[in-house]
């Protein structure tokens, strides 16, 4: 199509006319530029769509009532207080972090400081597989394995409950924490470790008091990103934790997160133009703002608290 | 003097003492620290074991529940009210349609954007914004893309609840990951190759087209296949776009209604009847085999590429 030149009939190299080449270069660059601009358009599209429909929503429901109300009954009761959904979302985020952050960090420390190459060759691909399993499979696993197990041990737990959902979301984000933390930990220069060994520190002391503090910004930013991922997790939470919107501190019962409401509303027949339909966009906007804020925070942490080594 | 400092440091680390006096009381407590270290090592190791065990238990659970269901008629039957007769034909075809369309849409866009960013983009505020925007998009929850797809592709562009609307949505979803992977592959191409090409009079695009892209292609393909496998496993955005859970016909064009494997699994898993859970497990096995095949291809390409470098 755009070869460097064409073989003429006598085998003489015939170059394209310079003007053709210049013209083609410009067109190609323009097309490639447009490909790049699609990502900007995506962001603009998300913001316009979310804000646009939300404006219509907030004409019906005052923003203050939305943000401070403790009743979420959009499909029957027409009350739109988002706190039950925020409550459920935060519960999943906190409990899944309790599972994922310690396990992920300890895995990262083990892989970077202790593991032999053979162990690494087994563990790292296994974690990649764990990260690649679709979330609906985690939902299935919570529903058919974790929840029955929990109910055997603690009979009071509901069929749908936040504990089971948090456990699988936790498992789901372990690979993210471990791989990002391991990157940060491995980036700590060897000389720092050797200096600590030189003054007689044990491996444990080197790991916990030299290496991890030196990698602090990377580790914390991996934590923050994992929490953001837990907040955005949808299908597993829907399947495992159910759809009961309420303000509660009890994780043994069904709750509803922002994301699982979005799925519930889209499964129902909220017809176009109704307040129930617009509520999808309003809570979507809230979700977008929360996760964007957290992601930016993670960037700031990584930049601000980074230790720079030569 | 220097020995005092060392004793002080070690003291602070071990017994909490310090200064000159501490030198006489200095207790290395080697035995206790050694034991603490061993305990810590096993604690970290148990975290690794936790991850592996979780993976093994999950796979075993799905396999034990589902392997009995997977046979030829399971693959070729439509869904049914009766679990024994239910199959995944429509979902499987939908997933294949989706895979093809997403690949067609996201590959050129992703590679194009990556080429622009690596080879053309001037170093200015716009390029930095573009790059930052891409990495932020990668962290936007997938359900938000579903909302975007619902508003833009299903309603505004009036594509309806079609395979095409779903494929466009998923393409946007995986675009950031595709771009970043392709950028890394292009960046890994040695600059000397470009210089040599310019040296014999090639234009910029000729250099990219005939020198840079062929070398970067395995890396680009690896990244694309991996992000494509992510798209195939997505549920939430496709639900939002309106994949239908009960479809008893084959999708025949990009504007047909459709369902995909994750949706079918979601639907069966959400049912109260235990038997449908087993059917869901069967469908999960098929989905996992597809994902495994895609990942194996990606790893194969990656390894071959590594040898050539």
**Three-class secondary structure assignment of chain A:** CCCCCEECCCCCEECCCHHHHHHHHHHHHHHHHHHHHHHHHHHHHHHHHHHHHHHHHHHHCCHHHHHHCCCEECCCCCEECCHHHHHHHHHHHHHHHHHHHHHHHHHHHHHHHHCCHHHHHHHHHHHHHHHHCCHHHHHHHHHHHHHHHHHHHCCCCCCCCHHHHHHHHHHHHHHHHHHHHHHHHHCCCHHHHHHHHHCCCCHHHHHHHHHHHHCHHHHHHHHHHHHHHHHHCCHHHHHHHCCCCCCCCCCCCCCCCHHHHHHHHHHCCCCCCCHHHHHHHHHHHHHHHHHHHHHHHHHHHHHHCCCCCC
A116: confidence class by pLDDT, cuts 50, 70, 90: very high
Q: Looking at residues A44-50, what average pLDDT do you find?
A: 95
Among chain B residues, the shortest Cα distance to A280 is held by: B147
Contact A43 B65 (CB under 8 A): no
Q: What pLDDT was estimated at residue B75?
A: 84
A to B CB pairs, distance under 8 Å: 275
Per-window interface: A 192-211 vs B, CB < 8 A: 199-205, 207-209
Per-window interface: A 128-187 vs B, CB < 8 A: 129-130, 132-141, 143-145, 171, 174-175, 178
10 Å CB burial of residue B220 (0-12, 13-18, 19+) is: buried
For the cut 90, the answer to whether the pLDDT of residue A141 exceeds it is yes
Q: Identify the residue among B4, B15, B44 best suited for mutation to test binding to A, counting A beta carbons within 10 A and taking the highest.
A: B44
For the cut 70, the answer to whether the pLDDT of residue A129 exceeds it is yes
Cα–Cα distance measured from residue B218 to residue A229, given in angstroms and rounded to the nearest whole number:
29
Lowest pLDDT segment from A63-67, A271-275, B109-113, B297-301: A271-275
B50: confidence class by pLDDT, cuts 50, 70, 90: very high
Q: Identify the residue among B7, B54, B59 best suited for mutation to test binding to A, counting A beta carbons within 10 A and taking the highest.
A: B54
Mean pLDDT score across all residues of chain A: 89
Cα–Cα distance measured from residue A87 to residue A247, given in angstroms and rounded to the nearest whole number:
6
Q: Looking at residues B126-142, what average pLDDT do you find?
A: 92
Residue A77 C-alpha, separation from nearest chain B C-alpha, in angstroms: 23
Q: What pLDDT was estimated at residue A14?
A: 66
ipTM of the complex: 0.90
> Which residues of B fall within a CB distance of 8 Å from A46?
140, 144-145, 147-148
Q: What pLDDT was estimated at residue B9?
A: 42
Among chain B residues, the shortest Cα distance to A266 is held by: B240
Contact B139 A234 (CB under 8 A): no
For the cut 60, the answer to whether the pLDDT of residue B1 exceeds it is no
**Angle value at C-alpha A119, between A113 and A125, nearest 5 degrees:** 105
Q: What pLDDT was estimated at residue B255?
A: 82
For the cut 90, the answer to whether the pLDDT of residue B229 exceeds it is yes
Q: What pLDDT was estimated at residue B307?
A: 54
B2: confidence class by pLDDT, cuts 50, 70, 90: very low
For the cut 70, the answer to whether the pLDDT of residue B287 exceeds it is yes
- Residue A228, chain B, CB below 8 Å: the answer is yes
Q: What pLDDT was estimated at residue B12?
A: 42
For the cut 80, the answer to whether the pLDDT of residue B305 exceeds it is no
Per-window interface: A 51-80 vs B, CB < 8 A: 53
Q: Looking at residues B41-57, what average pLDDT do you find?
A: 94
Greater pLDDT, B90 or B101? B101
Among chain B residues, the shortest Cα distance to A242 is held by: B270
Residue B250 C-alpha, separation from nearest chain A C-alpha, in angstroms: 22
Helices B142-149 and A18-60 sit at what angle, rounded to 10 degrees? 90
Residue B72 C-alpha, separation from nearest chain A C-alpha, in angstroms: 22
For the cut 50, the answer to whether the pLDDT of residue B298 exceeds it is yes
pLDDT in tens, B236-282: 999 999 876 667 777 778 888 888 999 999 999 988 888 889 899 99
Per-window interface: A 92-131 vs B, CB < 8 A: 102-107, 109-111, 114-115, 119, 122-123, 126-127, 129-130
pLDDT in tens, A158-216: 899 999 999 999 999 999 999 999 999 999 999 999 999 999 899 999 999 999 999 99
Mean pLDDT score across all residues of chain B: 86
Q: What pLDDT was estimated at residue B10?
A: 43
Residue B79 C-alpha, separation from nearest chain A C-alpha, in angstroms: 18
Q: Looking at residues B74-103, what average pLDDT do you find?
A: 86
- Residue A248, chain B, CB below 8 Å: the answer is no
Q: Which are the contacts of A153, defined by CB distance < 8 A and separation ≥ 6?
A: none
Q: Looking at residues A250-273, what average pLDDT do you find?
A: 87
Q: Looking at residues B138-167, what average pLDDT do you find?
A: 92
Q: Identify the residue among B8, B18, B58, B117 best suited for mutation to test binding to A, counting A beta carbons within 10 A and taking the highest.
A: B58
Contact B117 A36 (CB under 8 A): yes
Lowest pLDDT segment from A221-235, A256-270, B24-38: B24-38
Q: Looking at residues B13-29, what average pLDDT do you find?
A: 56
A13: confidence class by pLDDT, cuts 50, 70, 90: low
Q: What pLDDT was estimated at residue A12?
A: 63
Q: What pLDDT was estimated at residue B15?
A: 44
Contact B116 A36 (CB under 8 A): yes
| A107, A133, A199 member nearest B51 (Cβ) | A107
| Percentage, residues of chain B above pLDDT 70 | 89
B306: confidence class by pLDDT, cuts 50, 70, 90: low
> Which residues of A fall within a CB distance of 8 Å from B288?
133, 137
Contact A39 B134 (CB under 8 A): yes
> Which residues of A fall within a CB distance of 8 Å from B240?
262-263, 266
Q: What pLDDT was estimated at residue A182?
A: 93
> Which residues of A fall within a CB distance of 8 Å from B37?
202-205
């Amino acid at each position: 199509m755009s070869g460097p030149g064409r073989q003429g009939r006598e085998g003489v190299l015939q170059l394209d006319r310079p003007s053709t080449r210049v013209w083609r270069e410009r067109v190609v660059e323009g097309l490639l530029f447009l490909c790049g601009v699609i990502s900007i358009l995506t962001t603009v599209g998300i913001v316009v769509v979310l804000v646009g429909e939300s404006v219509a929503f907030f004409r019906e429901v005052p923003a203050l009532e939305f943000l401070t109300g403790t009743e979420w009954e959009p499909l029957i009761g027409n009350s739109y207080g988002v706190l039950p959904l925020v409550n459920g979302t935060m519960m999943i985020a906190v409990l899944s972090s309790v599972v994922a952050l310690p396990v992920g960090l300890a895995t990262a420390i083990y892989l970077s400081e202790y593991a032999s190459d053979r162990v690494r060759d087994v563990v790292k691909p296994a974690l990649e597989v764990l990260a690649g399993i679709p979330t609906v499979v985690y939902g299935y696993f919570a529903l058919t394995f974790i929840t029955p197990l929990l109910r055997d041990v603690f009979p009071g737990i509901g069929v749908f409950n936040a504990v089971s959902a948090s456990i699988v979301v936790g498992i789901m984000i372990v690979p993210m924490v471990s791989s990002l933390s391991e990157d940060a930990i491995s980036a700590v220069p060897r000389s720092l470790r050797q200096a600590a060994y030189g003054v007689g520190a044990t491996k444990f002391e080197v790991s916990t008091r030299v290496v991890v503090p030196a990698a602090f910004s990377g580790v914390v930013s991996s934590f923050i990103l994992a929490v953001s991922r837990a907040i955005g997790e949808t299908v597993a939470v829907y399947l495992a934790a159910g759809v009961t919107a309420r303000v509660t501190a009890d994780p043994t019962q069904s709750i509803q997160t922002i994301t699982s409401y979005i799925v519930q509303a889209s499964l129902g027949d909220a017809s176009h133009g109704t307040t129930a339909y617009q509520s999808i966009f309003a809570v979507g906007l809230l979700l977008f703002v929360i996760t964007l804020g957290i992601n930016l925070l993670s960037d700031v942490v990584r930049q601000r608290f980074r230790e720079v080594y030569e | 003097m220097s020995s005092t400092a060392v004793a002080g440091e070690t003291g602070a680390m071990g017994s909490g003492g310090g200064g000159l006096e501490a030198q006489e009381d200095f207790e290395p407590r080697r035995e206790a620290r050694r034991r603490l270290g061993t305990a810590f090592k096993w604690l970290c190791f148990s975290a690794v074991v936790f991850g592996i065990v979780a993976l093994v238990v999950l796979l075993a659970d799905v396999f034990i529940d589902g392997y009995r269901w997977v046979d030829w008629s399971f693959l070729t039957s439509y869904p049914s009210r009766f679990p024994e007769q239910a199959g995944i034909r429509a979902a499987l075809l939908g997933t294949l349609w989706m895979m093809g369309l997403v690949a067609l849409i996201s590959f050129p866009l992703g590679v194009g954007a990556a080429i622009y960013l690596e080879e053309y983009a001037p170093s200015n505020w716009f390029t930095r914004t573009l790059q930052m925007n891409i990495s932020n998009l990668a962290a936007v929850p997938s359900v938000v893309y579903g909302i975007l797809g619902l508003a833009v592709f299903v309603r505004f562009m009036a594509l309806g609840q079609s395979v095409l609307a779903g494929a466009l949505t998923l393409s946007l979803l995986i675009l950031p990951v595709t771009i970043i992977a392709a950028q890394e592959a292009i960046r890994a191409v040695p600059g000397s190759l470009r210089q040599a090409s310019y040296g014999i009079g090639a234009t910029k695009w000729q250099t990219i087209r005939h020198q840079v892209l062929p070398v970067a292609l395995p890396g680009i393909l690896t990244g694309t296949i991996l992000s494509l496998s992510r798209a195939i496993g997505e549920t939430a955005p496709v639900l939002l776009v309106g994949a239908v859970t009960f479809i008893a016909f084959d999708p025949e064009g990009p504007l047909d209604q459709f369902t995909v494997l994750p949706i079918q699994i979601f639907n069966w898993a959400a049912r109260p009847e235990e038997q449908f859970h087993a059917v869901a497990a069967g469908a999960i096995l098929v989905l996992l085999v597809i994902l495994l095949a895609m990942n194996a291809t990606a790893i194969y390409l990656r390894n071959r590429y590594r040898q050539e470098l």
